[in-house]
Structure 1
Amino acid sequence: MLQKHIQHLCWRAGFGEPIALVKEHEKHNARQLFRKMREASETFVPIDVVEAADLAGDFRKLREMRIEKQENGTAFDRNKLKDLQKERREEQARLNTAWLDKMSKDAGALREKMAFFWHGHLVSRSINAAFSQSYVNTLRKYALGKFGDLLLAVSKEPSMLQFLNNKQNRKRNPNENFARELMELFTLGRGFYTEKDIKEVARAFTGWDFDLHGNFVFRERQHDEGEKTIFGKSGYFKGEDVIRMILENKQTALFITTKIYQNFVNENTNDVWHQEKIAFLAKKFYQTDYDISHLLEHIYTSDWFYDPRNIGTHIKSPIELLVGIKRTLNLDFAEDQTSLFVQRVLGQVLLYPPNVAGWPGDKNWIDSSSLLFRMQLPALIFTDKTPEIAAKSDGDINTEYQTQKRSFKAIIDWNKFAAGFSDNEQQLVTELSNFLLQLPVQQEVIQGLRNQLKETDKPETVKKLTGALLMLPEYQLC
């Protein structure tokens, strides 16, 4: 494969790879390379940095605080509450950085990239870190399997049941939030169900709940056992039946395929060329019972995936940008909190999507302030400067810790990184440019970089050139 095509696959199916791995893959064709990536992602290892949920323990602490408030006044109570809130924030931070490390270092980049995609599609959010950890592990476990298994498992997550109010969905007072988002955002898309369907689907999911340890439970006494009419069919349906009916509708396959295509192939899908590809892929997706891995293989091994119109067209999300720098340069920050600060400034914090629709993506990632910080990021990393920009506070106590300025001290083995490139300085600029950028750069820019080269050792030269190339607008695309 051509280096540009290898990097295209590694960026879209993962988060980029070091130059040594890119060169190693040159002997493989697209199918061989994809299958190597899939093989490296076969083993699922749960993230385990947060203790299991203990809601009873939390309730007990809050009850004790209320008693202490009555006996000792409000000041003591506030201190206890602040300690509990701090503990929750620190747990979320550990989970965030643990998953970010998986993306940045593990061989299974394909699994993590798809789990990250599902995180922005099957959206959930919780202040309970144990619930967040369970949700993330479910995304990671089923990321490359059957979509139906993933959908059912996520629907039973305590984080989802809480986020979309299904815990309050009971036969005498149905709550429609989960039913609506299940169809509108997760599976069918707007216009392929009726308001009557929403009401009936909500009835089918009554009784779906979780216990004090975050385990899914079906509370029969809270379930509406009456007959329901959904998508024109009548029966005594439960939640599992609804999911099966949704999957039987080919519109679900088209909706999910389109979303995947827009994220991993090309955001602009209005022309006939792209529409034909999506229609073909959706048909295959449906025929394979929604096999995610099979769909991805069709995409990443097709000649059209490597068409020039699909390369260098994707604006990196903040997570893709951050993880890509860490992964391709084998970079570690001296402080884990630095990654949290970067996420906050750039507007994408893992475990904290803005709403049930997820992050808007594409051109929405770029505005005047975020673009400036994106361009400054390499200089901050390579010089350990304190950023002038501050992360905006949203007034949420659970994200307050992400707004604090951090040291950008980074650990990079420049000798090892430089070893992957030519000793010839003139050739070095071209090689680094071809590796770091998926779009060609004007020759004037390349020549300008060459003119700035001074007599220094190779690692220092590579460091300066890398910083300069990463600050170009072209690095924001892959």
Structure 2
Amino acid sequence: MAFPVILHNKHLLWRAGFGPGISQFEDIQTLSNKTLIDELFKEKAFTELTYNTPDVAAVDYMNSPTPAEKRKENQKINREQNNELNLNFLDSMINSPDQLREKMAFFWHGHFATRINNSKFNRQLLNSIRKNALGNFKELLFDVSRSPAMLSFLNNQQNKKDHPNENFAREVMELFTMGRGNYNEKDIREAARAFTGWGYDKDGNFNERKKLHDTGTKAFLGKTGNFTGDDILNIILEQKATAKFITTKIYKFFVNENIDNTIINRLSEDFYHSGYDIKKLLQHIFSGSWFYDPKNIGTKIKSPIELMVGMMRVLPMNIQAPENLIVYQKLLGQMLLYPPNVAGWPSGKSWIDSSTLMLRLQIPQIWSGLRPLEYSPRQDDDIDMGMKSRETALNKAFKNPNITIDWNRVEKVFQNKKGEDYLLQNSKSLDMSSVKNFSDQSVKMNIINLMSTPEYQLM
């Protein structure tokens, strides 16, 4: 059984990041919990994610004269740029020293869920979320609400006076701020009127189209005035229900899906009075003794991204065909930049079914070259993002993942350590003798077998 300091530090690194990296196993054994928390919250230089694929404007259409061919070429470029953006986001989760920022960006990426094909808009929103991930929720909310990705996804480009579209107004309240039960249908209608005219130009710049804005008086959440979209967001932020809704969602993501109302009430009150300071809220969470209560350790099922990234942080890999990682995301049911709907991805037991569980347990062996991949992505273009044309080639390529793992480095790190103490959050139910029966006693096989257990699915 791991010593408490190792257990608590592992817990912190899994929840506030994507698990310990291979260079951190000495740290979780020797550093105090407070030192590790301070390290997580240290400001690091922010770098935007981008892609190298040329933009649509750079393409020469001399040889594609018809509108249909131009559209097809645009779709191809957007698809390639989105794939690159996906992989660059994944890489930042694996390799960035700024683990807390990337984990929080991953949270907001699911909270402010959008699903569009425009790669430029996706890049813009993703970087806005990453930049503001640990900042102020008000600034983040305003940035996201004005982003072309969100305005496009929720149809606010079509929201005009005399013909209001309620999609954006409804989701801002239901999913992004207050939650159901804290507003009524009239509030949605009035907020939609206030958001009329909010849109964007072809370059992705926010645009308040004043001629399309309803300048009449609106009644919203007990207040009356000639409200604009900014006014609506400010009124929403005045509601303590907003602080409680966001705090509860963050608690479920970072602590436990079974909530403790006493703790949440205290945290949300502090969050509200701090002016929605995200970093301060997280400091309260990770510094609380209750965060390290046994009921909160090893009780959350890793999402597919958390599972993949956690493995890649431990096993130094050279991946010959990184685009295959997008197919693994698809197979496991969580594809970055492509949430299933505006509510984002599910959580908990919804990640596990008979096919995904088997693949989850086999990935360490597949990536280590010990067994072939026997699964193929569903033919489902709603998730393919137009990848069907490449499906056959990808299928052939990722049957052999072309991954080389630096096992010498892994063996040096783990040679005097019990792998279960460092890789598992809760090994009480694990029969180590059965794990060793399937091993040749090498460090390599021990690591692979531990990562292939149901216990490794938990964090």
TM-score by length of 1: 0.89
Q: Which amino acid aligns with 1:372?
A: M
Equivalent residues, number: 448
- Cα distance in structure 2, aligned partners of 1:326 and 1:48: 21
Alignment of 1:323 onto 2:326: no
Question: How do 1:118-267 and structure 2 match up within 5 A?
Answer: 118-267=108-257
Question: How do 1:76-475 and structure 2 match up within 5 A?
Answer: 77=68, 81-269=71-259, 274-383=260-369, 385-396=371-382, 398-400=385-387, 404-405=394-395, 406=398, 407-423=400-416, 428=417, 431-442=418-429, 445-451=431-437, 454=440, 461-475=442-456
Indicate if the aligned counterparts of 2:368 and 2:405 stay in contact, CA closer than 8 A. no
Against the structure 1 CA distance between its residues 450 and 52, is the aligned structure 2 distance closer, same or farther, given a 3 Å change threshold? closer
- Cα distance in structure 2, aligned partners of 1:440 and 1:386: 28
**Once the two structures are aligned, what percentage of the paired residues are identical?**
44
Q: Which amino acid aligns with 1:411?
A: T
Deviations 1:250-280 (A, max 9, x none): 00000000000001100112xxxx1111111
Q: Which amino acid aligns with 1:350?
A: L
Indicate if the aligned counterparts of 1:31 and 1:297 stay in contact, CA closer than 8 A. no
- Cα distance in structure 2, aligned partners of 1:6 and 1:156: 38
Indicate if the aligned counterparts of 2:101 and 2:134 stay in contact, CA closer than 8 A. yes
Where do 5+ consecutive residues of structure 2 fail to align?
none
How far 1:333 sits from its partner (Å)?
2.1
Indicate if the aligned counterparts of 1:7 and 1:22 stay in contact, CA closer than 8 A. no
Q: Which amino acid aligns with 1:47?
A: L
Indicate if the aligned counterparts of 2:187 and 2:219 stay in contact, CA closer than 8 A. yes
Against the structure 1 CA distance between its residues 237 and 377, is the aligned structure 2 distance closer, same or farther, given a 3 Å change threshold? same
- Cα distance in structure 1, aligned partners of 2:41 and 2:324: 30
Against the structure 1 CA distance between its residues 252 and 50, is the aligned structure 2 distance closer, same or farther, given a 3 Å change threshold? farther
How far 1:52 sits from its partner (Å)?
9.4
- Cα distance in structure 1, aligned partners of 2:239 and 2:70: 51
- Cα distance in structure 1, aligned partners of 2:179 and 2:429: 42
Deviations 1:86-120 (A, max 9, x none): 22211111010011000001101110100010011
How far 1:20 sits from its partner (Å)?
3.7
- Cα distance in structure 2, aligned partners of 1:253 and 1:114: 17
How far 1:65 sits from its partner (Å)?
1.9
- Cα distance in structure 2, aligned partners of 1:42 and 1:20: 18
- Cα distance in structure 1, aligned partners of 2:329 and 2:160: 38
TM-score by length of 2: 0.92
Deviations 1:413-459 (A, max 9, x none): 21111112235xxxx5xx1011111111446x31234455547xxxx
Against the structure 1 CA distance between its residues 116 and 442, is the aligned structure 2 distance closer, same or farther, given a 3 Å change threshold? closer
Indicate if the aligned counterparts of 1:385 and 1:408 stay in contact, CA closer than 8 A. no
Against the structure 1 CA distance between its residues 326 and 196, is the aligned structure 2 distance closer, same or farther, given a 3 Å change threshold? same
Q: Which amino acid aligns with 1:437?
A: L
Indicate if the aligned counterparts of 2:53 and 2:77 stay in contact, CA closer than 8 A. no
Indicate if the aligned counterparts of 2:193 and 2:214 stay in contact, CA closer than 8 A. yes
How far 1:338 sits from its partner (Å)?
1.9
Q: Which residue of 2 aligns with 1:74?
A: none
> SS of 1:411's equivalent?
strand
- Cα distance in structure 1, aligned partners of 2:438 and 2:90: 35
> SS of 1:383's equivalent?
coil
Against the structure 1 CA distance between its residues 255 and 9, is the aligned structure 2 distance closer, same or farther, given a 3 Å change threshold? same
Deviations 1:6-53 (A, max 9, x none): 1100000000123541322444433331221121x5321111216797
Moved segments of 4+, more than 6 Å: 51-54
Deviations 1:52-102 (A, max 9, x none): 977x899x99x9524xxxxxxxxxx5x554433222211111010011000
> SS of 2:199's equivalent?
strand
- Cα distance in structure 2, aligned partners of 1:207 and 1:454: 66
Q: Which residue of 1 aligns with 2:21?
A: 18
Q: Which amino acid aligns with 1:208?
A: W
- Cα distance in structure 2, aligned partners of 1:309 and 1:454: 34
> SS of 1:420's equivalent?
helix
Q: Which residue of 1 aligns with 2:5?
A: 2
Indicate if the aligned counterparts of 1:53 and 1:213 stay in contact, CA closer than 8 A. no
> SS of 2:341's equivalent?
coil
Q: Which residue of 1 aligns with 2:37?
A: 34
How far 1:384 sits from its partner (Å)?
6.1
- Cα distance in structure 2, aligned partners of 1:28 and 1:249: 41
